[in-house]
Structure 1
């Protein structure tokens, strides 16, 4: 998994310098900065609220007029906007980056009608969710469909013998993308892998409901 990166010219240089980041390691790193936060969900709003006390200025950019977040977060956002600590920039989208040698000095935003604004930010935090990318796994010779890998439903084995996949990347008929399903797939894969890595050892299957949870002595 990786962040959905905005399609902006020169983005790589600003990523390398740290002017564009996709998550916050330490709030202190943003002290005194002018931050443009892009996104309309919980991550964007939560970080805008968290950084308002350390940043010099925060713009919250969203392509729609309404945000999707927890009611309490929206209430706090409205209060921060009313107090002048956060400025909502809606309905705008990221359009361009300005700066030299990785030093960001402006973020251009635009409406669908072409109206543009230049926000004098020196940090950009885009929160557009995550995307699945097989990366080097795509070169392993495993059958794949877009960003998923077809597996045998009963074992989660891929088209490459001895290689298994579970979770969102695994695909088969009737797949439900739920955490519970991922746990089930992990158990099935582990049982299928056991005779491969320990061919001389029998697998004794037990139920915690009848044996109880093991206790340390």
Structure 2
């Protein structure tokens, strides 16, 4: 397997497409709140995710944004040279003031390459150039990142904040609902509305309840972890 970190360069088109292909394939594990592919809102949420990741990858060449500062991201890509395809990626944002402090936006490994050390090696590749990595993940993945050397730091809604190295930094992030009005997202929402009919409002209400329940689980876990830092889910 080959590993490469793309930063401070225009992302090659084939790398960009590989990340988007894997985002499509692995979307259920990339949402901020857990969601199965069978969930009624899955296609709409995936449309939002695709727009978000597409936009993040514009900034592998840093740019100054009014009222934000320097927006800078990077991509670690794992390639299988035998099959000539991408196996996994890490998409990350860099601190507004320091290149060696980063926050992971999303990371995925294709199903056929899982449990083969790909994630471990991508994290190693990222660590070559940074001293501080932050991320947030669902409760079910805390033990995975702990095994990769990350420590629990606290809660972030329905996710657990984790970190490796220093205390973290301030990453440039898109505001919530930044992509809700994009054409592809609106089209996915229209299809969803037609498909759900009268149950449309109830499905969204149920989703809010699911997120609130997951948030409470995370809050309870963090409280237990603070009492006993050796605790892992």
Instruction: Give TM-score, length-normalised by structure 2.
Output: 0.27
If the length of structure 1 is used for normalisation, what is the TM-score? 0.28
Which structure's residues are more often strand, by fraction? 2
In terms of fraction of residues, the more helix-rich structure is: 2
Q: Which has the larger radius of gyration?
A: 1
